[in-house]
Amino acid sequence: MDLARWLAVTGMLIVHFTVPFLDLETVTALLIHQAAWGRSTILFTFLAGVSLAFISGADSPHRGVMGNVTAGRVMVRGLLLMGIGWALTAAVAPTEVVLTVILAYYGLYFLLAIPFLRLGARWSSAAAVAAMVVGPQLLFVLRRSHDTGGWFHEFTEVWNRFSLGHILVDQGLLDLAVYGFYPALSYLAVVLAGVAVGRLDLNSHTVRMGLAALGLLLNSVAYRGSWHAWESYSLTITLGNRERIQGPVPTDDARWLLSSASHTATTPEILGGTGLALFVLVVCLYATEYLPRLLSPLVAAGTMALTIYVLHALAMAWQADLDLYPSDGEFLLDEYMSELFLVGSIVVAFIWRHLVGRGPVEAFVSTVSKAVVPDLRYGRDRTRAHPLNLLSRARTRSLTGAD
């Protein structure tokens, strides 16, 4: 899990800081950048769903009082992530840096996933499939209604007058759910897919091989199907090149819903990215079992992915605010930020994990959520000894290699 999380956050670093140690004009650098573009976000979101499954009981979902405690803590985590995301957005926005902070979206994903945390693997899978089929299409309908001045345009106008997030940082709930770069209406399907996978026995080789095969199949069907539709129906002639839209698709033609380009939030893009995330998770599970010592620095960085993301957003804001003629030290930091951040995050995270433990942002979110929603049945010191918690922790240890 932590190795996969490191790959996800590293993909975001590559997209925002460029590919480290390579000339950007080389084919290898272009392929790496293209692979990370959009897919690292889906991997990050998918792993959030798997993590939610673990903290809510793994293959034995928390129900009853324990389910209420888990739901409360997830709600607090979601609200904290939204707050951190909005704070980062407020810090980054004045610099005009090209960065859409995902943490506020991430927090909304957590909140929307709460009703599904009591479901087992089968029903979680069904919910993920339904969200993947319905969500992007509903998103398109609502955006089209807004663009054409329909009822949703009027509703948005009224809503945004009272939406605190929209007023302060131009990122209210409707922006996070419908209009933003990572709309929850589409990305919730990825989270639910992660929850479904987290309900399975990931120690089983049969389950792993099945997930890897399913991931490759979904990825192939989504991307190949999108390409086939574009070629077979001559959409290149009527709509233009599919890859020219790398973001929310135009709402003037519903055929754009067949695109699998990054950040389009269509069913093909979500399906293909989720399939790739499935395959990556299985590879990481085997890699950390066979090469635990070699990969331990990367795993350590994965445990601090949230902290690394926050620091990288602040670093981008600093870069954008550099003077026209920076000093030699500032110039070197700016020029080699990709290499310094990648290597530095691994080294610092490895040392921090062994000397301190969890990353500061991770520890803050976890500590506050447990303090706000304690498990009063067992007392503050006995909460972690509950059988369901022990099961979840044992499963997490076996998957992450944590002590």
In order, the DSSP letters of 214-255 are HHHHHHHHHHHHHHHHHHHTTHHHHT--GGG--SSPPSS-GG
Q: List own/partner pairs for 213-218 with CB under 8 A and 24 or more apart.
A: 214/275, 214/278, 215/274, 215/275, 215/276, 215/277, 215/278, 215/279, 215/280, 215/282, 216/275, 216/279, 217/275, 218/271, 218/272, 218/274, 218/275, 218/278
Q: How many residues does the chain have?
A: 403
379 band by pLDDT with thresholds 50, 70 and 90: low
User: Average of pLDDT values for 65-76?
Assistant: 94
Q: Residue 78 above 60 pLDDT?
A: yes
Percent of the chain at pLDDT above 70? Answer: 92
User: Average of pLDDT values for 277-291?
Assistant: 96
Alpha-carbon distance 330 to 353, whole Å? Answer: 28
389 band by pLDDT with thresholds 50, 70 and 90: very low
Q: Residue 28 above 60 pLDDT?
A: yes
Task: Name which of 130-134, 265-269, 355-359 the model is least confident about.
Answer: 355-359
245 band by pLDDT with thresholds 50, 70 and 90: confident
275's tokens: 């399939």
pLDDT of residue 294: 95
Task: Name which of 125-129, 335-339, 371-375 the model is least confident about.
Answer: 335-339
pLDDT of residue 288: 95
User: Average of pLDDT values for 270-289?
Assistant: 96
Q: Residue 390 above 50 pLDDT?
A: no
Higher pLDDT, 231 or 401: 231
User: Average of pLDDT values for 332-352?
Assistant: 89
CA atoms within 13 A of residue 276's CA, in its CB half-sphere: 23
User: Average of pLDDT values for 109-131?
Assistant: 96
Residue 257 DSSP one-character state: G
In the chain, how many H helices and how many E strands? Answer: 19, 0
Q: Residue 232 above 90 pLDDT?
A: no
pLDDT digits (tens, 9 = 90+) for 203-231: 999 999 999 999 999 999 999 999 998 88
Highest mean pLDDT among 24-33, 180-189, 328-337: 180-189
Q: Residue 251 above 70 pLDDT?
A: yes
Q: Residue 401 above 50 pLDDT?
A: no
User: Average of pLDDT values for 316-321?
Assistant: 83
pLDDT digits (tens, 9 = 90+) for 141-173: 999 999 999 999 999 999 999 888 888 888 889
Give the CA distances from residue 172 to residues 7, 104, 108, 140, 152, in Å, rounded to whole numbers and listed in that order. 29, 9, 11, 19, 15
Q: Residue 68 above 90 pLDDT?
A: yes
394 band by pLDDT with thresholds 50, 70 and 90: very low
Give the CA distances from residue 118 to residues 62, 122, 397, in Å, rounded to whole numbers and listed in that order. 6, 12, 22
324 band by pLDDT with thresholds 50, 70 and 90: low
